Amino acid sequence: MPSLLEKLKEELVKSEKKANVVLPESSDERILKAAALASKENICKAILIGSSEDIEDKAKGLGINVRPLQVIDPQTCGLLEKYVIKYCEARRISERVAYRLLKKPINFAAAMVRFGDADAMVAGAIYDTQEVIMSSELIIGLKEGVSVPSTFFIMDIPTYEKRFLVFADCALNPNPSPSELADIAISTADSIKTLLGWTPKVAMLSFSTKGSATHPLVEKVIKATEIAKRKRPDLLIDGELQADAAIVPEVAKRKIKGESQVAGDANILIFPDLNAGNISYKLVQWLTRGKAYGPILQGFARPVSDLSRGATVDDIIGTLIIISTMVVRGI
């Protein structure tokens, strides 16, 4: 039976619409390999940013054929000047400042997305998360009505019976307030419902299950759960729940008095802070030999994805599949 990612890939291959995904880190061999493979398998149209000569020389040394790919050099393509003018008009800054900003590959790539020359951007193999976020927020901007951008991972866990879980937020918000945590839960539920077609079952995680412990950190999750339920009564959201009570039916039955449509059957796990989320996804990824697809950014005006700097070629391909699906489905 094909996996979830294989199903998404199959849809992309068959689709007449192809996402133009810009990759600003062309000096990284993982990016070159993933871009060439994604193009060869008809997943998306990959765009590499950098010098054609430098990219071809590096690719040749790795035995990679990048000639079918689109390569854009900001210094010679003529787009930089156009973006500088448009960005100056939008931000009311000097051309000198705009030029210095946009000549940086990641910012140039973000400008391609903002001004419609690319559908989405994937970065993070070299740039750290804060650089990707800063570039995306500064140049692409947030969706109207979004108060806080966030991220999610689709975790492919071979040792887990249901195979897939969604983790959020594991890469961006260090210590979200109750209101921000509620917004992260709602954004993730909406993203996953559209992207994967799931009925979201959102568990707000804590070291306490329904009052088994008392602490300000527990109270934060309780408040976040109340806010999320009040804002979106149509969603299945429950908390506070310990991780085992969230995903193991037998544990949920023992720990929870009364009914819960989420406990023991959650498919989206919302972590209370970045310590918990980041540590958890990396442990699950490496101890189970699983894959972590993401972090997929949500809340921006156009699709963007941040990669872990430890991402493998398979991780990057998975991320390209997800981000391309978001483009095709209009997320």
The DSSP call for residue 118 is: -
For the chain, give the mean pLDDT. Answer: 93
Tell me the mean pLDDT in the region 128-138: 91
Assign 299 a pLDDT band (cuts: 50, 70, 90).
confident
Please give the average per-residue pLDDT across 124-143, as a whole number: 92
Residue-wise pLDDT tens digits, 270-291: 999 999 999 999 999 999 999 8
Into which CATH architecture does domain 4-141+300-328 fall?
3-Layer(aba) Sandwich (3.40)
CB 198 within 8 A of CB 217: no
Q: Give the separation between CA 128 and CA 137, rounded to whole angstroms.
A: 14
**Cα 153 to Cα 329: distance, rounded to the nearest angstrom:** 18
Q: Does the pLDDT of residue 152 top 70, yes or no?
A: yes
State the pLDDT at residue 2: 57
Inter-residue contact 35 to 109 (CB < 8 Å): no
DSSP letter for 136, please. I
Every domain of the chain and the residues it spans = 4-141+300-328, 150-285
- CATH 3.40.1010.10 corresponds to the domain 150-285: no
- Average pLDDT of the residues in 114-129: 95
The answer on pLDDT for 307 being more than 80 is yes
Please state the rounded mean pLDDT for residues 177-186: 95
Residue pair 194/331 in contact by the 8 Å Cβ criterion: yes
What CA–CA distance (Å, rounded) separates 221 from 225?
6
Q: Residue range 175-199: average pLDDT?
A: 93
Block residue for tokens 């800063």: 134
Residue at 24: amino acid letter: P
4-141+300-328 shares its CATH topology with 150-285: yes
**pLDDT score, position 116:** 95
Beta bridge pairs of residue 21: 46, 120
Per-residue model confidence (pLDDT) at position 3: 74
| pLDDT of 179 higher than 90 | yes
List Cβ neighbours of 271 (8 Å cut-off, separation of 6 or more).
167, 168, 169, 170, 205, 277, 280
Determine the average pLDDT of the residues in 65-78.
90
Contact 19, 323 (CB under 8 A): yes
Residue 82 · residue 98 · CB < 8 Å: no
Backbone angles phi, psi at 210, to 5 degrees: 50, 50
Q: Is the pLDDT of residue 50 over 80?
A: yes
Q: What pLDDT does residue 142 have? A: 87
Query: How far apart are alpha carbons 64 and 57 in whole angstroms?
Result: 10
- The dihedral formed by the CA atoms of 173, 317, 35 and 141, expressed in degrees to the nearest 10: -30
Tell me if the bond preceding 240 is cis, omega within 30° of 0.
yes
Tell me, yes or no, if the pTM score tops 0.75: yes
Lowest mean pLDDT, pick from 107-116, 217-226, 296-305: 296-305
Q: How far is CA 245 from the centre of its chain?
A: 26
Banded pLDDT at 67 (limits 50, 70, 90)? confident
Give the pLDDT confidence score for residue 39 in this predicted structure.
93
Here the tokens at position 87 are: 């960005």
**Spatial distance between the Cα atoms of 215 and 205, rounded to a whole number of angstroms:** 14
- Residue 242 clears pLDDT 60, i.e. is over it: yes
Taking the CA atoms of 202, 206, 210 and 214 in sequence, report the sign of the dihedral they define: negative
Q: Inform me whether the pLDDT recorded for 303 exceeds 50.
A: yes
User: How many angstroms separate the CA atoms of 324 and 8, rounded?
Assistant: 9
Q: If you average pLDDT over residues 74-99, what whole number do you get?
A: 91
Percent of the chain with pLDDT over 70: 99
Mean pLDDT score, 116-120? 96
What band does 293 get if pLDDT is binned at 50, 70 and 90?
Answer: confident
Mean pLDDT of 84-104: 92
Amino acid 1: pLDDT: 46
Q: In this model, does residue 294 exceed pLDDT 90?
A: no
Burial status of residue 92 (CB atoms within 10 A of its CB: 0-12, 13-18, 19 or more): exposed
Mean pLDDT comparison of 4-13, 33-42, 287-296, highest-scoring range: 33-42
Strand 150-156: give its sheet, edge to edge. 70-72, 45-49, 20-23, 120-123, 304-306, 291-298, 150-156, 164-168, 268-270, 201-205, 236-241
